[in-house]
Amino acid sequence: MSLKIYIIAGEASGDLHAANLVRSLQSQRKDIICRGWGGDLMQEAGVEVVKHYRELAFMGFAEVMMNIGAILKNFKRCKQDILNFQPDIVLMVDYPGFNLRMAKWAKMNGFRTIHYISPTVWAWKESRVFTIKKYIDKLIAILPFEPDFYKKFDYEVDYFGNPLIDAIQAYRVKQIAKELFLQQNKLSDRPIIAVLPGSRKQEIKKKLPLMLEAVSDFKAYQVVIAGAPGLDQAFYEPFLSKDVTWVTGKTYDVLSHAEFAVVTSGTATLETALLKVPQVVCYKTSKLSYAIAKKLVRVKYISLVNLIMDQEVVRELIQDDCSPEKIRQTCLTIQRGGSERDNMLRAYEDLIGRLGQEAVSDKIAQSLLKTIEQWSKAQA
């Protein structure tokens, strides 16, 4: 009998990790059928994607409230699709605002639940731990400090390393030479400043103009925007010029050939570090969302690099500090010859050492299949 898995990933990073995990699962078991919500990478991995994550891109407290009607419709549609599919497992990948609610519903309706990539309960909304304990049958963490956090609540989670290690290693195998990358994308031979403004339209519109203004004085460089999956050139066109180029579907290429990067907080900060590119991290949201977050969030840092290292390895420019002038000043310190560049690159080596397990997705897949087999035997 085939194994049916329903997957819910609501962001680009979740799409990446889910796709790699699906490939690992399929390499170990051939009769897996996957359906769910996600993106292009999941679809390429063989998942029947019924709703793309670009239609789910609501971020921040205020933005969620403004789109509550659409969000409620999404819950209803997802629940019905799960009922129609009747999966053996509901696999939720990150996206906790949506997925923890779906986990509760799925568990109450008799489905086994697995959550891949822990919600950031160690940063805020610690009470979610009790929801996780009650409604998540298996939780897989990807940050090294997370298992110890959950131990305080007598909840065991699996940790096999960070799957981005695998993604970066897979990229290195097929990485093209810089000359070919420049030629294919009609770029000049000037050094590159990589700009990663995020994956959601609203965050890009808010931050990209600030980022581009900040690097506009770096005349010896060319600026390359790493386009988000699902957003075409027409969306980026207002931001482009003779000195600003857009490249899509090649974020790792853009980063690996860049001198330094201006990056929106999120998974991209860790990817940039693993590719050993100096960076400045930017975060800006609505005043209301930021005011609420400031009261609730308990961690010292917002970037995964600094959180894992528990120190300021990369400069974080948050809200009012996320200004063109402060971004520009930080870029001066991380460009070639800058005062902070070498220190940052040395810290990256320590970071990689902390995450340095290989074949992470394969290990997770092996563990999941073993757990699913145990559940099946117990049910029989």
Identify the pLDDT of residue 51: 94
- Cβ of 328: how many Cβ atoms within 10 Å? 17
- Mean pLDDT within 325-349: 97
pLDDT over threshold 90, residue 342: yes
Identify the pLDDT of residue 345: 97
- Mean pLDDT within 87-98: 95
Q: What are 166-175's contacts with CB under 8 Å, separation 24+?
A: 166/20, 166/358, 166/359, 166/360, 166/361, 167/16, 167/20, 167/271, 168/252, 168/271, 168/274, 168/275, 169/358, 171/252, 171/256, 175/252, 175/253, 175/256
- Mean pLDDT within 205-234: 93
C-alpha to C-alpha distances, 333 to 259, 326, 339, 344, 379, nearest whole angstrom: 12, 11, 5, 10, 59
- Mean pLDDT within 319-328: 96
Mean pLDDT computed over every residue of the chain: 92
Tell me how far the alpha carbon of residue 276 is from its chain's centroid: 18
Across the beta sheet with 3-9, what order do the strands follow? 48-52, 32-38, 3-9, 89-93, 112-116, 138-141, 158-159
Q: Which token pair is 23?
A: 């490939």
Identify the pLDDT of residue 32: 97
Identify the pLDDT of residue 332: 98
- Mean pLDDT within 126-145: 95
More confident residue, 44 or 68: 44
pLDDT in tens, 29-62: 999 999 999 999 999 999 999 999 887 655 554 4
- Tell me the C-alpha distance between 255 and 233, whole Å: 19
pLDDT over threshold 80, residue 368: yes
Identify the pLDDT of residue 296: 64
pLDDT over threshold 80, residue 325: yes
Identify the pLDDT of residue 25: 97
Q: Which domains does the chain have, with CATH numbers?
A: 3-161+359-374 (3.40.50.2000), 167-354 (3.40.50.2000)
pLDDT in tens, 162-194: 999 989 998 999 999 999 999 999 999 999 999
Identify the pLDDT of residue 172: 93
Identify the pLDDT of residue 180: 97
Model confidence band, residue 13 (pLDDT cutoffs 50, 70, 90): confident
- Mean pLDDT within 258-281: 96
pTM summary value: 0.85
Identify the pLDDT of residue 378: 87
Model confidence band, residue 379 (pLDDT cutoffs 50, 70, 90): confident
Identify the pLDDT of residue 124: 82
Model confidence band, residue 299 (pLDDT cutoffs 50, 70, 90): confident
Model confidence band, residue 28 (pLDDT cutoffs 50, 70, 90): very high
**What SS3 class is residue 184?**
helix
pLDDT over threshold 60, residue 66: no
Identify the pLDDT of residue 1: 81
Lowest mean pLDDT among 95-109, 149-163, 184-198, 354-368: 354-368
Identify the pLDDT of residue 230: 76
On the 0-12 / 13-18 / 19+ scale of CB atoms within 10 A, 298 is exposed
